[in-house]
């Protein structure tokens, strides 16, 4: 046992025979997929879909044959799915403050609400013009005013959408040209509609209705271009004169002089805003030629010029303006149209709805901002859906609280108007739900559904008033409630999807 080791012939004593190395069994080797997961852990943890990982593997030059040989799976997509399952999701937070494009100041939106309501004071100064027999139980001259207003709301809503579409494409000059063509056409159309509905109205009433159409067109230009402060400054003298006349009546000459003066100021400011569209780097002639349907548009070079927005794309927005205008008019004049004499009871509702458009706009921005934060904080589609529904309820509740406060305040300040009862308040709030959810759907591009619901509601309420079916207040509340329920369902179905918030 203690003898020397036997050596084969020819070997030297200082060498030993080679001992074969034992091979490590395959079950004892580290898993190559685990090694790859550790190496790519940061990227895999931040991926939102296995396809991102597959793209990375292919960009590294891994072919399907190499993947089958090294990792024992079929191809890069199978390997990506395996890696995606083995690594826990960890989404890194961005560096620095988060960018929120929907953050907007409350003061600017409140200013727009005031600007929406101030033109109503013109009817205080123009009251001496409305003399003579009434129409359908309404004060003299009301019919041409309402017809011109509805035409203006319809046309200018579509015009504003087309101008905003150009602004979204980055072509501000094309937006100005659209307004330069569309605003005068809308003013002319509204005036013609008012004249056609004038009947035996006095010429002064027809002139007032034509001025109303011109104002709506010019104000649309300023609001689209973001010139609310200029519009407020132009309306300030007229508004101050109307408030003073409520306290101590002004001379009729002074009252009537304020109306054309304010209109002229708004028209000049609007023309000043769109005048740069007439002149580009090629001079005034090229700018004027670009106004023609076959002319060039915008100032961008031909190779960078985007496709023009379709005219038919603005039609749903115009119909939405018509439908909501009809609903608001019924809220203001439904009592009189139904044969009742207490028109002052419902008139404050229209004032409240008009003033509430400022807070409504701010709450729309607030919803977009909160939904963006929900996208960042939610880990699953169900959690994001719950967050969205909660945000909608919060914003809608805030709007209805503002609308209720404005409605009660307007009724308290309106001469000879009692506080509205439960049915009237319910109808007002349900109409507020219809308007706000309609605007919310419109802001997400789902204008077709909102337009269909609002047009159906306006048509049904018109038929109920014409046929005098049921109590007008209960009928109005039922119509508003049905439309509000349908649009709330559309909001939940659409905005619960993360892809709708792109």
One pLDDT digit (tens) per residue for the chain, 502 residues = 444 444 455 555 555 455 455 454 555 467 788 888 888 888 888 888 888 889 988 888 888 888 888 888 888 898 889 899 888 887 676 666 677 778 888 888 888 888 988 888 888 888 788 776 666 666 667 888 889 999 999 999 999 999 999 898 888 888 898 899 899 999 999 999 999 888 777 788 889 999 999 999 999 999 999 899 999 999 999 999 888 888 887 787 888 889 999 999 999 999 999 988 877 555 555 555 555 544 444 444 555 556 677 888 889 999 999 999 999 988 877 666 656 554 555 578 888 898 999 999 999 999 998 888 888 777 788 888 888 899 999 999 999 999 999 988 888 887 777 677 788 889 899 999 999 999 999 988 889 999 999 999 999 999 988 888 777 778 888 999 999 999 999 998 888 887 887 7
* Cβ atoms of residues 287 and 277 within 8 Å: yes
Q: At what angle do helices 106-117 and 343-355 cross, to 10 degrees?
A: 150
How many helices (H) does the chain have, and how many strands (E)? 20, 0
* Cβ atoms of residues 162 and 182 within 8 Å: yes
Distance in angstroms (rounded) separating the CA atoms of residues 76 and 436: 49
Q: At what angle do helices 315-337 and 142-168 cross, to 10 degrees?
A: 150
In terms of Cα–Cα distance, which of 226, 209, 466, 210 is closest to 330?
466
Please enumerate in sequence order all residues whose Cβ is within 8 A of that of 254, keeping only pairs 6 or more positions apart, or say none. 241
In whole angstroms, how far apart are CA 153 and each of 148, 333, 351?
Answer: 9, 17, 16
Helices (H), 281-380: 284-289, 315-337, 343-355, 357-377
Q: Give pLDDT, residue 411.
A: 83
* Cβ atoms of residues 79 and 85 within 8 Å: no
* Cβ atoms of residues 178 and 168 within 8 Å: no
Distance in angstroms (rounded) separating the CA atoms of residues 228 and 22: 85
| CB-neighbour burial class of residue 186 (10 A; exposed 0-12, middle 13-18, buried 19+) | buried
Question: Where on the phi/psi map is residue 94: left (φ > 0), alpha (ψ -120 to 50), or beta?
Answer: beta
Q: Mapping DSSP to helix (H, G, I), strand (E, B) and coil, where does residue 424 land?
A: helix
Q: Give pLDDT, residue 137.
A: 62
In terms of Cα–Cα distance, which of 170, 173, 167, 176 is closest to 304?
170
Beta bridge partners of 135: 138
Q: How many other CB atoms are there within 10 angstroms of residue 150's CB atom? A: 17
In whole angstroms, how far apart are CA 363 and each of 46, 56, 123, 351, 494?
Answer: 33, 42, 30, 19, 18
* Cβ atoms of residues 158 and 318 within 8 Å: yes
Question: Any idea which residue has 């309501």 for tokens?
Answer: 117
- pTM strictly above 0.85: no
Q: How many other CB atoms are there within 10 angstroms of residue 2's CB atom? A: 3
Q: How many residues does the chain have?
A: 502
Four-point Cα dihedral 486, 490, 493, 499, nearest 10: 180
Q: Mapping DSSP to helix (H, G, I), strand (E, B) and coil, where does residue 396 land?
A: helix
Beta bridge partners of 390: none
Please enumerate in sequence order all residues whose Cβ is within 8 A of that of 11, keeping only pairs 6 or more positions apart, or say none. 17
In terms of Cα–Cα distance, which of 81, 2, 72 is closest to 31?
72
In whole angstroms, how far apart are CA 73 and each of 32, 68, 405?
Answer: 11, 5, 66
Q: How many other CB atoms are there within 10 angstroms of residue 172's CB atom? A: 16
In terms of Cα–Cα distance, which of 204, 200, 187 is closest to 255?
204
For 375, the token pair is: 């996208």
Q: Give pLDDT, residue 346.
A: 59
Please enumerate in sequence order all residues whose Cβ is within 8 A of that of 125, keeping only pairs 6 or more positions apart, or say none. 238, 241, 242, 245, 250, 255, 256, 258, 259
Please enumerate in sequence order all residues whose Cβ is within 8 A of that of 57, keeping only pairs 6 or more positions apart, or say none. 67, 76, 79, 80
Distance in angstroms (rounded) separating the CA atoms of residues 431 and 423: 12
Structure letter (DSSP) for residue 75: S
In terms of Cα–Cα distance, which of 77, 202, 87 is closest to 142?
202
* Cβ atoms of residues 57 and 76 within 8 Å: yes
Q: Mapping DSSP to helix (H, G, I), strand (E, B) and coil, where does residue 469 land?
A: coil
């Amino acid at each position: 046992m203690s003898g020397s080791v036997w050596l084969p012939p020819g070997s030297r004593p200082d060498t030993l025979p080679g001992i074969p190395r034992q091979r490590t069994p395959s079950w004892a080797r580290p898993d190559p997929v685990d090694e790859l997961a550790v190496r790519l852990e940061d990227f895999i943890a931040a991926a939102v879909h296995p396809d991102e990982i597959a793209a990375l593997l292919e960009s590294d030059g891994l072919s399907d044959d190499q993947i089958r040989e090294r990792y024992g799976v079929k191809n890069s997509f199978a390997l990506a799915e395996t890696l995606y399952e083995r690594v826990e999701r960890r989404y890194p937070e961005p560096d620095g403050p988060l960018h929120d494009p929907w953050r907007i100041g409350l003061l600017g939106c409140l200013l727009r609400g005031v600007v929406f309501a101030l033109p109503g004071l013109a009817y205080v100064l123009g009251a001496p013009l409305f003399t003579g027999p009434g129409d359908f139980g309404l004060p003299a001259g009301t019919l041409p005013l309402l017809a011109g207003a509805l035409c203006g709301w319809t046309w200018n809503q579509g015009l504003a959408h087309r101008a905003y579409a150009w602004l979204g494409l980055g072509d501000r000059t094309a937006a100005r040209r659209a307004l330069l063509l569309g605003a005068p056409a809308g003013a002319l159309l509204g005036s013609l509609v008012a004249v056609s509905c004038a009947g035996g109205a006095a010429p002064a009433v027809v002139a007032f209705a034509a001025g109303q159409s011109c104002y709506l067109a010019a104000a649309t230009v300023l609001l689209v271009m973001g010139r609310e402060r200029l519009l407020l400054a132009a309306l300030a003298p007229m508004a101050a004169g109307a408030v003073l006349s409520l306290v101590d009546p002004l001379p009729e000459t002074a009252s009537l002089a304020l109306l054309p003066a304010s209109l002229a100021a708004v028209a000049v400011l609007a023309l000043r805003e769109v005048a740069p569209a007439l002149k580009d780097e090629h001079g005034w002639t090229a700018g004027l030629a670009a106004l023609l349907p076959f002319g060039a548009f915008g100032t961008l070079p031909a190779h960078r010029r985007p496709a023009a927005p379709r005219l038919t794309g603005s039609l749903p927005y115009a119909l939405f303006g018509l439908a909501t205008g009809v609903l608001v008019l019924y809220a203001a004049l439904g009592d009189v149209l139904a044969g009742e004499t207490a028109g002052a009871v419902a008139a404050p509702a229209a004032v409240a709805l008009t003033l509430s458009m400022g807070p409504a706009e701010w709450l729309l921005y607030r919803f977009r901002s909160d939904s963006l934060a929900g996208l960042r904080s939610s880990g699953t589609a169900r959690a994001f859906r719950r967050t969205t529904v909660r945000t909608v309820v919060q914003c809608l509740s805030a709007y209805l609280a503002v609308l209720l406060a404005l409605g009660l305040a307007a009724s308290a300040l309106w001469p000879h108007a009692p506080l509205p009862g439960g049915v009237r308040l319910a109808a007002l709030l349900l109409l507020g739900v219809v308007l706000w959810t309609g605007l919310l759907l419109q802001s997400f591009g789902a204008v077709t559904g909102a337009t269909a619901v609002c047009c159906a509601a306006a048509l049904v309420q018109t038929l109920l008033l014409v046929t005098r079916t049921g109590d007008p207040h209960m009928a109005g509340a039922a119509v508003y409630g049905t439309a509000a329920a349908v649009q709330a369902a559309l909001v939940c179905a659409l905005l619960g999807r993360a892809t709708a918030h792109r």
